[in-house]
Amino acid sequence: MYTITVIPGDGIGPEVMEATLDILKASDLEFDFHEARAGYACYQETGNTLPHETLEIARNADATLFGAITSVPEQKTPSSILTLRKELGLYANLRPIKSYPGVKSLYGDVDILIIRENSEGLYSGIEEVTSEGATALRVITRKASQRISRVAFEEAKNRGKTRVTAVHKANVLRKSDGVFRNSFWKVAEEYKEKDGYRDIATDELYVDAAAMFLVTDPHRFQVMVTTNLFGDILSDEGAGLVGGLGMAPSANIGDDNGLFEPVHGSAPDIASKGVANPAAMILSACLMLQFLGEHQEAFKLEQALIKVLEEGIVLTPDLGGTSTTMEMAQAVKKYFKKS
């Protein structure tokens, strides 16, 4: 029995969440779903985008599913998702970039895992107004850099990947990305000695070169590990390569908690029409199942989605179909139950 916090949020968040929960309920596993609130609607009712209670529910759960939230323009505090990452200690952000059948994409056969450091860098929150403008502090520590590098090697092994590429800008950010770079190579040395990791090749690239190769030669990448904002940029670029945000899931992972969210936002333009593509939320649920150690359920769920994509019949409009979010989810559920 897993206790799962569910934060539907705003816009299409509740729609893709409902669809995904309906599929998960068909699983052999038992889930205890606790709904909690965050985002714009929550702010309008409670004056708070992220009530204390939501944090408490998330802290005590085995994992959290997060839909999407609309940010509050006048709000001066960080986005709720940033607060959740920080408060729950979710230091690793996993962003798979994967081609799926029937999805319009610039390349086929892409299967990259971008691992984004999720706790520091330019997300330190340390900014200062000066007489001339403002500054932001990019914080890179050995601890966080080594920790995220370890995640990269662990994930590489678990997913049968044979290369880890560190991405940084140490030619300009000599000291700060010097720390990231050295931490990566130190961890790489450790793993070279470990059974099961010896065959994992390692290399490094400057972030500008990585941004270029992602477009010209994505197959050269398997696992990429990088600092917070570089990961933010490269993972959206990568999502663009394989069909855009409609297919991009993410996992925010810490030592004893995980939060899983589609990379797409609340998409106000298509909200409440019931036509949002549920795939990114479903794939986020797959990442949650992997995190819970339920690898077989995760595999079954992804395969069910792949079958629906391959069939190409019950698809939402962004995928070229005419079905609703719920119809597509039902199609996935049917295969998931059969498997």
Ligand X SMILES: CC(C)[C@H](C(=O)O)[C@@H](O)C(=O)O
Is 177 assigned a catalytic role?
no
Q: Using CB under 6 A, which of the segments 57-65, 74-82, 135-143, 173-181 binds ligand X?
A: 74-82
Nearer to a second copy, 91 or 230 (CB): 230
**Is 40 annotated as catalytic?**
no
Nearer to ligand X, 46 or 171 (CB): 171
> Among 15, 2, 226, 188, which Cα is nearest to 112's?
226
Task: Report the Cα 188 to chain-centroid distance in Å.
Answer: 24
Contact 115, 147 (CB under 8 A): no
Task: Give the one entry of ligand X, a second copy, none that residue 81 binds, where binding means its C-beta sits below a cut-off of 5 to 8 angstroms depending on kind.
Answer: ligand X
* Contacting residue, 36, 81, 239, 305, with ligand X by CB under 6 A: 81
Query: Which H or E element spans position 157?
Result: helix 142-158
- Verify binding: residue 232, ligand X, rule CB under 6 A: yes
Dihedral pair phi/psi, residue 121, rounded to 5°: 65, -135
Q: What is the CA radius of gyration of the chain?
A: 20
Cα 333-338-339 angle, rounded to 5 deg: 100
Q: Is 169 a catalytic residue?
A: yes
Whether 236 is catalytic is: yes
Chosen from a second copy, ligand X, none, partner binding at 76 (C-beta under 5 to 8 Å by type): a second copy
203 contacts ligand X (rule: CB under 6 A) = no
* Binding track, positions 125-144, relative to a second copy; x by CB under 8 A: --xxxx-xxxxxxxxxxxxx
Site stretch for a second copy (CB under 8 A), options 19-27, 61-69, 164-172, 281-289: 164-172
What distance in Å separates the CA atoms of residue 35 and residue 328, rounded to the nearest whole number? Answer: 23
Minimum CB–partner distance for residue 171 and a second copy (Å) = 6
Q: Which of 214, 253, 283, 319 forms a contact with a second copy (CB under 8 A)?
A: 214
Please state the length of the chain: 339
Cα–Cα distance, 220 to 217 (Å, whole number): 6
203 is catalytic: no
> DSSP of 211-251, one letter per residue?
HHHHHH-GGG-SEEEE-HHHHHHHHHHHHHHTT-GGG-EEE
Binding mask 128-167 for ligand X (x = CB under 6 A): ----------------------------------------
Nearest of 294, 298, 287 to residue 263 by alpha carbon: 287
**So which residues are the catalytic ones?**
123, 169, 208, 232, 236
Q: Which residues of the shown chain bind a second copy in the complex (CB under 8 A)? A: 71, 76, 78-79, 82, 106, 122-123, 127-130, 132-145, 169, 171-179, 207-209, 211-216, 229-230, 232-237, 239-241, 244-245
